[in-house]
Chains A and B, each alone.
Chain A
Amino acid sequence: MSSPLAVEVRALSKTYEVHERPPGLAAALRSVFRRKYKTIHAVSDLSFTVEPGERVGFLGPNGAGKTTTLKMLAGLLHPTAGEARIAGYVPRRREAAFLKSITLVMGQKQQLLWDLPPADTFTMNRAIYEVSDADFAETLGELTELLDLGAIMKKPTRQLSLGERMKCELAAALLHRPQLLFLDEPTIGLDVAMQLTVREFIRQYNERRGATVLLTSHYMDDVASLCPRVVVIDQGRLRYDGDLPSLVRSIQPDKRVALRFSGSADREAVARAGTIVDFDAAHAVIQIPRVDLREAVGHLLGLSFVADLTIEDPPLEEVMRELFSASKPAEADADAGTQADSA
């Protein structure tokens, strides 16, 4: 028998009762005697599995239920219905062996002790997670090298920049060498260079340790570069589970061609290749159906004022916007991905 799935989610649901009242004093007084509650279905009947060592991107608009799902998988929230198993453990039982095998990094929250240097948090985690001296020294050495922690470990956390803090957060979260990483917006607020550092670090950790990664991020570049597979949820329901290129193809079947001009460009000649998305004296972006791509590119390369040409997929943000604004589920390639509603 092979090792258990890293993540196994079956018909998972979570509902909240939320107290609701209009603003104002009168409403506040009324609510003392008659409280109105609204039921929020944060996650509904969600099912998916993840194999050990996979890197999976968890996508969805704000309020889709991504963080709620991650919190249920980490054992912080108790599901209303359904079942989750992480490497065979039931998360809500929060057994010590389970908690030692996972980590949850939330980009907007911190586990570092605010007024003490990160080194103190590392020491505390070593004791709590029972990391041996040898493993601690080795892992910390590795993390220090990968994340360049040397100088910042001994400064009080409150004096670190956001990027420095996030690097230390990652180190604190990984000192016990977890096999499953739940990363909720790990690059939020970081500059582009730091996003790249964090992204590369996550990839290296995954490859070096064979750890499973479940990642949510508003930065589509994080997901595109890190996650061969994406799970899309919207309003708590699964919308898509499969690889990213198939999702993009199904939602946005056109390609984008970016052109750079040398000399005066003829707009009409360019427009004959496809729909113009953007056009100025030096550049243009055209949208072209995939089936017409070969012919259109041939036409464009024949234009004397075209100096350079790049073929790209439409920006992922745009694809996602289109997916979530559509009233019905997307029609993804059946062989590459699974549409939740049709599965």
Chain B
Amino acid sequence: MSARADLRRVVRAYPTLLRVGLAEAVAYRAEMLVWMLTTTMPLVSLALWSAVAETAPVGRFTQRGFAAYFLATLLVRQLTGSWLVWELNQEIRSGTLSRRLLRPIHPLITYSAQNLAAIPLRFAMTLPAAVVWLVVLEPGAFPRSPLALGAGLLAILGAWLINFFTMALIGSIAFYLESSTAIFDLWMVAFMLLSGYLVPLELFPAALRGVIHALPFRYVIAFPVEIFTGTLRGEAIVGELGIQWAYVLGAGAAAILAFRSGVKRFSAFGG
């Protein structure tokens, strides 16, 4: 069967996969709410940095500036997070990946639909933060122009894809090692420090910023946040979108190859 037929099947099946994924997300809503509470680190950062900025701004950040930055960070994180590594790791170890491998659709496609389907619910749950950000802190900041809005949405999609593919890549390590979650922990440490999740990247020493801009972490948090908070404009957005999508393609290719080669080693024990 040709690649075109495969693609046609995916396009036709995807809306149903999303619908079923949303039904699953609704079934797990309480668990998801608890899980979302564990990703509220930007609010902790907000409290800390607000205290620091009480007497004088830090760089260009006033207390209000920090509030806008970290609320936007919280929203971007909710919209772009992926937890695939846990699921993939568990399904490889327990053998339950078998049920996905038996279907005539790539398992990463079904995982992606499950991930995406949960986003409306996650967005609804973070709506209060979005309202505070848009109405109280930065009224009129969003959307500034259709182009900026389009670039912001593209950056959000790119951030989600980098996260998703990276989680698929790290999760696929479970085909080779007994567990891949330790490697995920390493990724998370680097993510926390270098993505702008806990500290705005502008506050890093100038000498480090070049390195940070070349690493992928910035493109999953700071880059979309800076577009939506108006820090990044015009050509700078276009240039960084190029870097972000290069990472998307690189992470996508690596994830697909790692998964494909891992499946050859799959033992399907117990599954």
Contact = CB atoms under 8 A, between A and B. Distances in A.
Contacts of B105: 96, 128
A99 B103 contact: yes
Contacts of A267: none
Interface residues of B, number: 30
B192 interface: no
Contacts of A7: none
A16 B267 contact: yes
B103 A128 contact: yes
Contact of A120 (B20, B28, B101, B267): B20
A227 to B, nearest CB: 23
A96 B266 contact: no
A74 B24 CA distance: 28
B23 A116 contact: yes
Contact of A109 (B1, B99, B104, B267): B99
A75 B107 CA distance: 14
Contacts, number: 83
A130 B268 contact: no
A77 B268 contact: yes
B28 A124 contact: no
A95 B1 contact: yes
A90 interface: no
Interface string B242-271: 000000000000000000000010111001
A127 B13 contact: yes
A83 B103 CA distance: 22
Nearest to B2: A96
Interface string B96-110: 101101111100001
A116 B24 contact: yes
Interface in B1-25: 1, 5-6, 9, 12-13, 15-17, 19-20, 23-24
B24 A100 contact: no
Nearest to B13: A127
Interface in A29-83: 71, 74-78
B34 interface: no
Contacts of B20: 113, 116, 120, 123-124
Given A96-B104, A115-B28, A128-B104, A77 B9 contact: no
Nearest to B96: A109
A129 interface: yes
A104 interface: yes
Given A77-B268, A109-B98, A128-B13, A99 B24 contact: no
A97 B24 contact: no
A71 B20 CA distance: 27
B104 A127 contact: no
B27 interface: yes
Contact of B266 (A76, A111, A127, A156): A76
A124 B17 contact: yes
B6 A96 contact: yes
Among B98, B101, B102, B271, the one with the most A-chain Cβ atoms within 10 Å of its Cβ is B102
Interface in B81-99: 95-96, 98-99
Contacts of A155: none
Contacts of A103: 102
A169 to B, nearest CB: 11
B104 A120 contact: no
Interface in A119-147: 120, 123-130
A96 B13 CA distance: 14
A129 B104 contact: yes
A127 B21 CA distance: 13
A113 B27 CA distance: 11
A94 interface: yes
Nearest to A71: B268
| Of A78, A96, A99, A103, most B-chain CB atoms within 10 Å | A96
Contacts of A129: 103-104
Contacts of A109: 95-96, 98-99, 271
A214 to B, nearest CB: 15
Contacts of B1: 95-97
A159 to B, nearest CB: 12
Contacts of A106: 98, 271
Nearest to A124: B20
B87 to A, nearest CB: 13
A258 to B, nearest CB: 41
Nearest to A19: B178
Nearest to B109: A128
Contacts of B264: 78, 92
Nearest to A16: B267
A98 to B, nearest CB: 8
Centre residue among A103, A116, A124 by max chain B CB count within 10 A: A124
Given A76-B102, A113-B24, 16 more contacts: A75-B101, A77-B267, A77-B268, A78-B266, A95-B1, A96-B1, A96-B5, A96-B105, A97-B104, A106-B98, A109-B95, A109-B96, A109-B99, A116-B23, A128-B104, A156-B27
24 contacts: A16-B267, A71-B98, A77-B266, A78-B264, A78-B266, A94-B101, A96-B5, A96-B9, A96-B104, A99-B104, A100-B104, A104-B102, A110-B99, A111-B102, A115-B24, A116-B27, A123-B16, A124-B16, A124-B20, A126-B16, A127-B13, A127-B15, A128-B103, A130-B12
Interface of A: 16, 71, 74-78, 92, 94-97, 99-100, 102-104, 106, 109-111, 113, 115-116, 120, 123-130, 156
